Every structure is written in C-alpha cells, then in structure tokens.
Amino acid sequence: MKFDVSEISSLIKQEVLRYQTQLEVSQVGTVLEVGDGIARIYGLDNAMVGEMLEFEGGIVGEVFNLDEDSIGAVIYGDFQKVCEGGTVRSTGRLLSVPVGPELLGRVVNALCEPIDGAGPFKAEMRRFIEFAAPGIAQRQPVKEPLATGIKSVDSMIPIGRGQRELIIGDRKTGKTAIALDTIINQKGKGVICVYVAIGQKESTVAEVVSTLKKHGAMDHTVVVSATAAQSAAMQYIAPYAGAAIAEYFMYEKQGHTLCVYDDLSKHAIAYRELSLLLRRPPGREAFPGDIFYLHSRLLERSAKLSNALGGGSMTALPIVETLEGQVSAYIPTNIISITDGQIYLQRDLFLAGVRPAIDVGISVSRVGGDAQPQAMKKVAPKLRLDLAAFRELQDFARLGTDLDEMAQKQLDRGYRMVEVLKQKQFSPMSVADEVISILAGSSGILDDIDATHVGHFLEELIAWLKLEAGEYLDEIDKIGKLSDELLSAMNDAVAAYKTIYKFSFGA
C-alpha cells in the first residue's frame, strides 16, 4: 500500500493548525484559618473585593477584606467542610445566582439552590448578586397601583408599583401577615413575588410556604430561605439573591415584581457578625460604618423602569422589627430614610383587637397617592386625618370629660370606621369591595348601626350587591373610577340595603 507524501503532509499541516495550546491559569491560595463562616487566606495577591472564590469540595466564597499579607473571605454553604491548609482558587468572576421562570413555586436557599425536595432545576440564566440600581433617566414616576387587598393600606397608605414601603413594628404585631396578604392578592394580576426569609425559624418558613400554597399563591412566588440555623453569610446575601431573581423578571421579561425582605433588622445583625469576625472597626451599636450603604444599595434596585427599558417594576416591602416601639433606633431610622414611606404597626392596637394594627399617625406613603385608583381617592380623601383626630379624641374622652354633641358624633363615627377597616387575615379584598366598605362608613350610613354589627353588615352588603348590582362593582374593578352618577347610585343601594338589614337582623 502506497502513501501519498503530499496528502500526508497536508493532513499534518491541518492538524497543526487546529491544535491550540490552552493553558488554564488560575491563582491558588491557602486557607490560614477558618471558623464561623470566615476564612483567612494567603497567596491570592491579585484578588478583588467581591470576587467569587472556590474552596475544595466546590464550596463557594467571596472576598471581603484585603489585608496587607492576607485576605478575609466569607464562605457560603457548609463552612465546616473547609479546613485549614486547604487550597482556594480565585475565579475572576463576581458572585452570581441562577434565575429564571423555573424558580416559580420553588423554595431555594441564598445561592438559589433548591431546598424543597422537588428536585433540581435548570435555570435560564445567571444574574449577579450585586447589580447597579437604575439611574434617574432609566426610571419613570410611580403611577400604577399595587393593590394589597387590605382596606386600611389601600385607602390611607397606598403602594404603587416600583415603590419601597417599609413595614415596621414590634414582634408579633402582624408585619408578615400584611406582606403575605399582598402576595396572595397578586394572584392573577401578573406580578411575580419573591419572599425572602432572613433569620427566621425553619418552622416559620414552612408555615409561610404552606399558607401561600393553601391560597394558590405559590404559582407566582419564589421563596428564598436563609434560616437562623444557617450561617450569617447566607443570611447576608439572601436579600440580594431575592433582588436578582426579581430583576430577571423586571429587566428580561419586562414584568412587574414584588420583593418582601423579612426582615432587614436580622439582616443587619448578620452583617454585623460578619464584620466583627473580619475585624472591621465597629461603630454605633457595634454596627459597621457601611451599614446604611448595605441597605440602600439593596432597596435602590427597586424601581419603575422607563418605557425604553420595557416599563417593568420592582416593588420592595422591607420589614423591620422594633424593640418596645423604638422607631428612633439606628437600623429603623436608616431604613425609614431610604424608603418611600412606612406602615407602622402598634402593639397596643394589636392587643385591642384592631387588625391590621396600623397607627395612622406615623404611617405614610410618600408616592403611592399618585398611583391610587380614582375611586378610592373619591371615597377616602380625609380618612387618614379623620382617624388620627379620632385617636386623639379617644384619648381625651378616656379622662372622663363630658363631650359636646359634635365631638360625640365624631367619636361615634370613628368607632365605626375602625370597625370598617378591620380585616381578617389572608382575606384580601378587591378594589370595588374596599370602596363600598369605606363609602358606607364615611358617608354616615353606618352611624345608627351598632358598632359591633358593622363587620357583619359590610359582609352582607357586599354579598347582596354582588347579586343585585354586580355591574357597579365590575365597573369600579375594571375602570378604577367612580363617577358622580355611580357614586349616587351606590349610596342609594347601600341605604336601601340598610333597611333590609335592619328588618332581617334587627340591628
């Protein structure tokens, strides 16, 4: 068998041209000491702050401190598997997490790895944990309502898509309940929700997931869990991972999203723990100097994007726990100054049976009024001021002072409006139902009904209206406006039902 020399030489030339030497160059360092989720590493001279590191066993870390002869890094995951003397490889990349529609209905950890036992998923793409907030030119004013389904919030402290509204109050005053009601109310409205549990008990997170499943809200929700049993590092990055998931739907899908951070006071404590372990100098209350920047760079990512970027939005509902009502403490005041308003829940009101226990005196929405439906604006223009005046008058009346007729009428109207605004947990209402309820209270129609019967009257009224005058409710829900003719017709309908109610129930 003869070989053609020219053919052989051409084949050799082709192989030589195809062959490329690929030399993978990576910096490798050594773990000097490790403990409490913190590692001190020697040998990574060119490492950058925020750079992703790979420890032995595939465990991920991040560069935090650049010291003179070593670097300080935090370890995400099981830091007990990292040993002194082990090798660390720098990646040259920033920390990122998998995001995509595959995460909907799932419970994931702070690295967006599934922990719900429903098997792995293949995410569509990855996004950086830290991402620059959109600038002024990339935003547009908040003008679209995000209905919570809670009468007292939608009427007095309205929230718009793209807003940041703080929920603040003592422990066990119903903060998480407001956030969960809001998530449940987004069912069928095209809003993707991300609930981030920071430093909660595992049983509490399981209860939240069970509640969302029970009300059919998990289909549009992602739960990011960094429980109290996990390291401070995982609790620290959890809200940023939640924001990255929401940003995927906002930027890539031009959709509307809602992020609940429950809660940022525990997040600040986790960051303080990391900082002190890394020997960063402590400041006020031992928190590091950049604690304000920690939360501002998270919450500034919430926005209503300009039409050029698709018009998507991310609404943030950060939750902060106070101690004995100390709203003026360090972390609460920091986050109040970053957000666009706050819903303050008062323990005394909660214990008195007012649910949700919103203190209208210091609760405020700085931008949501522009996004409030016209129908709600028309029936509740002075509701917040009237309730605040009622609280003052109520305190005055407790002294046993005799009140004149006008003051007594105002007090009686106030008691009925408090009953109107009470609402059962996990039962969000449509805008039309809220408008009808507030209209009945503010118009004076309930003034001669016993205050203890107000809640029952409203339930029966809404059920009757859906049967007899459903077109009124449909018009408010579809258009969001309340014309003078419709307002007059609704007043007549409510007055007519009051006669039926008194005859039927003798109230």
Residues 120-165: pLDDT tens digits? 999 989 999 999 999 999 999 999 999 999 999 999 999 999 999 9
* 286 in the same domain as 149: yes
Residues 64-78: pLDDT tens digits? 999 988 999 999 988
End-of-domain residue from the set 40, 71, 93: 93
CATH number where 61 lies: 2.40.30.20
Q: Can you give the pLDDT at residue 85?
A: 92
Q: Can you give the pLDDT at residue 80?
A: 87
End-of-domain residue from the set 72, 93, 114: 93
Q: Can you give the pLDDT at residue 293?
A: 95
End-of-domain residue from the set 349, 372, 395: 372
Residues 206-234: pLDDT tens digits? 999 999 999 999 999 999 999 999 999 99
* 455 in the same domain as 335: no
What's the average model confidence in pLDDT over 320-332?
94
Confidence category of residue 79, pLDDT binned at 50, 70, 90: confident
Quote the tokens at residue 450: 């016993």
Quote the tokens at residue 284: 């006020």
Confidence category of residue 175, pLDDT binned at 50, 70, 90: very high
Residue 358 DSSP class: B
CA dist list (Å): 471 to 69, 293, 465, 478, 479: 74, 50, 9, 10, 12
* 128 in the same domain as 76: no
Residues 328-383: pLDDT tens digits? 999 999 999 999 999 999 999 999 999 999 999 899 999 988 889 999 999 998 89
Q: Residue 366 catalytic?
A: yes
**Residue 36 within any structural domain of the chain:** yes
Whether residue 11 has pLDDT greater than 90:
no
* 74 in the same domain as 110: no
CATH number where 441 lies: 1.20.150.20
Confidence category of residue 173, pLDDT binned at 50, 70, 90: very high
* 444 in the same domain as 347: no
* 269 in the same domain as 336: yes
* 222 in the same domain as 132: yes
* Contact (Cβ atoms closer than 8 angstroms) between residue 244 and residue 129: yes
**Residue 209 within any structural domain of the chain:** yes
* 421 in the same domain as 274: no
Identified catalytic residue from 297, 366, 391, 413: 366
What is the percent of the chain with per-residue pLDDT over 70, rounded to a whole number?
A: 96
The residues, ordered by sequence, that sit 6+ positions from 455 with a Cβ below 8 Å of its Cβ are 419, 422
**Residue 3 within any structural domain of the chain:** no
* 388 in the same domain as 336: no
**Residue 11 within any structural domain of the chain:** no
223 bridge partner residues: 107, 195
Higher pLDDT, 7 or 382: 382
Edge-to-edge strand list for the sheet holding 313-322? 107-108, 221-226, 191-198, 256-262, 313-322, 166-170, 341-345, 364-365
**Residue 158 within any structural domain of the chain:** yes
What type of residue is 268?
A
Q: Can you give the pLDDT at residue 405?
A: 86
CATH number where 192 lies: 3.40.50.300
Q: Can you give the pLDDT at residue 17?
A: 67
Neighbours of 53 (CB within 10 A): 26
Whether residue 4 has pLDDT greater than 90:
no
What's the average model confidence in pLDDT over 21-26?
52
CA dist list (Å): 6 to 11, 220, 480: 9, 66, 82
**Residue 4 within any structural domain of the chain:** no
Residue 126 DSSP class: E
* 448 in the same domain as 333: no
Q: How many structural domains comprise the chain? A: 3
Enumerate the H helices of 151-263 as residue ranges: 151-156, 175-185, 202-214, 232-247
What is the percent of the chain with per-residue pLDDT over 90, rounded to a whole number?
A: 77
Confidence category of residue 505, pLDDT binned at 50, 70, 90: confident
* Contact (Cβ atoms closer than 8 angstroms) between residue 31 and residue 85: yes
Confidence category of residue 23, pLDDT binned at 50, 70, 90: very low
Whether residue 205 has pLDDT greater than 70:
yes
Rg (CA), the chain: 28
What's the average model confidence in pLDDT over 264-274?
96
**Residue 20 within any structural domain of the chain:** no
**Residue 479 within any structural domain of the chain:** yes
Q: Can you give the pLDDT at residue 2?
A: 55
Whether residue 26 has pLDDT greater than 70:
no
* 173 in the same domain as 77: no
Q: Can you give the pLDDT at residue 502?
A: 83
Whether residue 305 has pLDDT greater than 90:
yes
Q: How far is CA 408 from the centre of its chain?
A: 41
Quote the tokens at residue 340: 């666009």
What's the average model confidence in pLDDT over 479-505?
89
* 221 in the same domain as 139: yes
Q: Can you give the pLDDT at residue 503?
A: 78
Q: Can you give the residue range of the structural domain that contains 162?
A: 98-372
- 275/124 Cα distance (integer angstroms): 34
